[in-house]
Amino acid sequence: MASSSADAAAVVAKNDGMEEDDFPEASLRNIIESDLKWIFVGGKGGVGKTTTSCCLAIQLAKVRESVLIISTDPAHNLSDAFGQKFGKEPGKVDGFENLFVMEIDPSFDWEEMNAMVARSGSIPGAEGEGGGLQSMLQELTSSIPGIDEIISFAELMKQVEQMDYSTVVFDTAPTGHTLRLLSFPSTLEGAFGKIMAFKNKFSGLMSQFGGMMGQPPGAEDALLGKLDQTRDTIEKVNKQFRDPQATTFVCVCIAEFLSIYETERLVQELAKFEIDTHNIVVNQVLFPDKDATEMSAWHEKTKATLPGEANEIISKFLARKRMQDKYINQVFDLYEDFHVVLMPLLDHEVRGVKSLRRFSEALLTPPENE
C-alpha cells in the first residue's frame, strides 16, 4: 500500500487515468509564492493547527514585509508554541523583525460597548448605566446568539486592517467554532432585521418611554449606528474572504477516521461559504517517506532474530502505520486537486523558534521517497 506523497498520488493517478505530474505539488509553496492577504488554518481539535500556523507564518515572513498571526481560539497556544507571552496587542516574535502575534479574547464587553457609543456619539448620560431605551436595545441585542463574538470579530478586523500587515494568518479554534465565525455575515443580517423591526414597530412608544426615563435624545440611534458599522465591517471582510486571490483556508488533520471526516465536513462547508481551500496538511505521519508493505516484508524476514518484546512493539507500530496509510490514500483519492502535505511525527515536541523554523521547512520540501 502506498504511503508517501509520491506513491499515494501515483496510485490515484493510475486509477483515474491521470499522469502523476498532473497532481498539485505536495507542499504549501503555492501559498508562499502567492499574494494572499488572509490565510485561515483550521481543523479538528488536537491535530496540530497551531504548529502549522506558526510554521506557515515563519515561511511567509521570509518573503513578506510583515506577517501577523492571530489566535481566535479561546484556548490560546501561540504563546506556548513560541515560548514567549503574547496578548491582545501585536507582539514581535523573538528572532524576527517582521513576524508578530496576537491572542485575542473572543468575548465582547458590553460595558465597553456603552462607553464606545458615548464617545463616538457624544451623548450626555449614555456612558455608564445609560437610559431606559438604550438598556432595552442592549438587552435585545445581547440576547442574539453569537452577537458578542460577531462584534468582537468586527472590531478585531477593523483594528487589523488599520495595522496594514502584508499577510494575516488566523490560528482558528476547532472546526465548529470556526464555521460559526465564517457564518457571521448571515447571522448578523438576520439579527439586524429583528432589531430594526423592533425599533420601527415601537419607535413612538419607546421614544416617549425613553423621555420619561431620562434617556438622552439619540442614544438608541448611536447604539444602532455602532451595530450598523459592525455590519458594514463584516460585509467588507466577507467580500474579501470570498475572493480566492485574497483568502484561502488550509485544512489540518491527522490520519484517523474522525479527523478525516471532520476535514471533509469543513471542506464542504467552506464551499458553501465560497471560501477557497486547496491545501491540506496531514500531521503526525509515521515515516511519510516509507511504505508500510515494504516495512512489513522486512519485519517478516527479521522477526525470528528479534526478541519477543521487540516484535510486539514493531507489530503495533506496523498496525498503526497501515491504518495511517489507508486514510492517507483516502485523502489523496478525495482531494486529488489539492496540495496535500504529509508532516512527519517527530520524537520530540515542536516548541520554540528554533524547532519551529526547522520543522517549517517540511511544509515546502516534503521528505523524499526512498
Polymer length of the chain: 370
**10-residue stretch averages of pLDDT, the chain, 370 residues long:** 51 51 86 95 92 97 96 84 93 96 70 53 44 52 58 73 89 78 69 67 55 53 67 79 94 96 94 93 93 90 92 94 96 95 94 96 72
pLDDT of res. 247: 94
Tell me the three cell numbers of residue 77. 497556544
The C-alpha atoms of residue 47 and residue 255 are separated, in whole angstroms, by: 10
The single residue of 22, 35, 73, 337 carrying the catalytic annotation is: 73
pLDDT of res. 321: 96
- The CB density around residue 123, as the number of other CB atoms within 10 Å, is 22
Q: Indicate the annotated binding residues.
A: 44-51, 256, 283
CATH superfamily ID and name for 5-288+331-363: P-loop containing nucleotide triphosphate hydrolases (3.40.50.300)
Task: Give me the long-range contacts of 135-143 (CB less than 8 A, separation at least 24).
Answer: 136/206, 137/195, 137/199, 137/220, 137/223, 137/224, 138/110, 138/113, 138/114, 138/223, 140/194, 140/195, 140/198, 141/191, 141/195, 141/223, 141/227, 142/110
pLDDT of res. 307: 93
Q: Indicate the annotated binding residues for ATP.
A: 44-51, 256, 283
pLDDT of res. 1: 42
pLDDT of res. 108: 53
- Residue spans of the domains in the chain: they are 5-288+331-363
Helix 219-241 vs helix 132-142: crossing angle, to nearest 10: 30
Query: What are 341's strand-pairing partners?
Result: 281
Query: What values do phi and psi take at 67, rounded to 5?
Result: -130, 135
Q: Is 221 among the residues known to form the active site? A: no
pLDDT of res. 231: 73
Distance in Å from the first CA to the final CA of the chain: 14
pLDDT of res. 211: 52
